[in-house]
């Protein structure tokens, strides 16, 4: 079964490489990869959101969702599953970025992006919708760059959304969302 999934994954990755790869997309996807390394732009976004009372809950939710995704995905699942990256399995594909050294499953960039975007969306739909679109671009860029399999990206997206949902439930059940909203009045 695992071999069938891996073959399906490679079929998609090879199609991307043969069909849509361009110098512009190489640069664009590499830029996305660097901008969201270790969740950097999401953390900057959280700081900005926290600065304003109206978006404070969304900012804190973003950070908590990302932390949960980091603990489960990067520190847990990656080190349990130990799946090699596509660029390690097939090193013949030229990469637009340096090959990452960690394992592949699930995609950390995608997990943190969907956790962050879901954390925003849970408390601010207006900002959350474009954030989810950006998270999708980050996930697609990881496949385009040949550093993650499609199933890694899918698992990262599901993990991120589940972490955001868990954070939402904790915030609303404990009324932490209301406490954060009124903080500093």
Question: Per-residue confidence of the chain (185 residues) as pLDDT tens digits?
Answer: 678 888 999 999 999 999 999 999 999 999 999 999 888 899 999 999 998 888 989 999 999 999 999 999 999 999 999 999 999 999 999 999 999 999 999 999 999 999 999 999 999 999 999 999 999 999 999 999 999 999 999 999 999 999 999 999 998 898 877 777 776 55
Place of tokens 């976004």: 45
pTM for the predicted model, two decimal places: 0.92
| Residue 141 maps to a domain | yes
pLDDT score for 72: 97
| Residue 2 maps to a domain | no
Distance CA 126, CA 112 (A): 20
Which residues form the domain of 178? Answer: 22-182
| Structural domains in the chain (count) | 1
| Residue 16 maps to a domain | no
Please state whether the peptide bond connecting residue 183 to the residue before it is cis, i.e. omega within 30 degrees of 0: no
| Residue 30 maps to a domain | yes
pLDDT score for 182: 72
Place of tokens 């925003």: 120
pLDDT score for 184: 58
| Residue 9 maps to a domain | no
| Residue 91 maps to a domain | yes
| Residue 156 maps to a domain | yes
| Residue 8 maps to a domain | no
The CATH number of the domain holding residue 80 is 1.10.606.20
């Amino acid at each position: 079964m695992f071999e069938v999934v891996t073959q399906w994954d490679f079929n998609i990755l090879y199609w991307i490489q043969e069909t849509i790869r361009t110098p512009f997309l190489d640069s664009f996807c590499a830029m996305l990869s660097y901008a969201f390394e270790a969740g950097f732009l999401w953390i900057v976004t959280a700081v900005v959101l926290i600065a304003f009372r109206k978006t404070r809950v969304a900012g804190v939710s973003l950070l908590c969702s990302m932390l949960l995704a980091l603990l489960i995905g990067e520190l847990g699942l990656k080190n349990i599953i130990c799946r090699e990256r596509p660029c390690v399995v097939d090193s013949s594909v030229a990469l637009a970025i340096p090959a990452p050294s960690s394992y592949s499953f699930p995609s950390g960039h995608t997990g943190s992006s969907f956790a962050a975007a879901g954390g925003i969306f849970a408390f601010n739909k207006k900002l959350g919708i474009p954030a989810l679109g950006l998270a999708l671009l980050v996930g697609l860029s990881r496949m385009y760059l040949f550093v993650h399999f499609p199933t890694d990206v899918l698992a990262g997206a599901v993990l991120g959304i589940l972490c955001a949902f868990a954070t939402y439930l904790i915030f609303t059940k404990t009324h932490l969302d209301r406490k954060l909203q009124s903080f500093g009045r």
